[in-house]
Amino acid sequence: MIQEPLYIIKVGGNIIDNDEKLSSFLIAFAALKGRKILVHGGGKLATKLANDLSVPQQMVDGRRITDGETLNIVTMVYAGLINKQLVARLNALDSKSIGLSGADANLISAHKRNHPTIDFGFVGDVDQVDAGFLLSLIEQGLNVIIAPITQDKNGQLLNTNADTIAQEIAKATAKHTPTILIYSFEKKGVMMDVNDDTTLIPAINAELFEKLKVEKAIFEGMIPKLENALQAVNAGVKKVIIGDATALESLVEGKTGTTIY
């Protein structure tokens, strides 16, 4: 018997920030049949709270510099408020869910980023994912909702990119079970013109990606996500789908979005 795939679904911050879109996404996630893990970021709430508390925020290439005070804020917001709100709303939809951060049960171990020129502070890069522990929860009929906070071997909490966490979880679980990784956000998928839905690219492989990159035919901000997606496929993930979070069922069925294979 062919084993049904495990879906690793990352929901983008722009969906988290929009309650109407978030509600639509959560209804679709709850209705999705089969085994599933949800990875989320924090949207703008951490930045708003930091501003309210007069904690200066610094971003480099879209990545947050995480000093000690900022680490406290993102831990409270990501692993606390947002994670538990998502869990509560899914449970209310009869979708039995448990919320974890990467630090829980040492689910995701990481190390402090060592960049040659930039001190990112308490930002973590993933070392290992305990896929066996995750799958044991899934086998109990639970949906696992994961916040992007990890820890190092000394017990130091680290702020870790949610896209990367989703990719690393998918690579780890793919060694044990067929895995599909879905990056869901506010756009229809990968488009040649980010403002024109009719320019959606339905499928991309490594060869086409290199061609589009050379021709500068895809939005620059999408390149890291596509590089992550191709790394996941090369590591054994069955396929990666990028597309509209509010059209989750259509994404899973391959009717919309961009499939990376």
Domain limits, the chain? 6-260
Calculate helix-pair angle for 19-31, 83-92, nearest 10 degrees: 60
> What's the average pLDDT block by block, 10 residues per block, for the chain (261 residues)?
85 92 96 96 89 91 88 97 98 98 98 93 97 97 98 97 95 97 93 87 94 86 86 96 93 92 91
What whole-number distance in Å separates Cα of residue 86 and Cα of residue 77? 12
Check: CATH 3.40.1160.10 for 6-260? yes
Check residue 64 and give its pLDDT.
Answer: 84
| CB 231, CB 239: distance < 8 Å | no
Check residue 1 and give its pLDDT.
Answer: 47
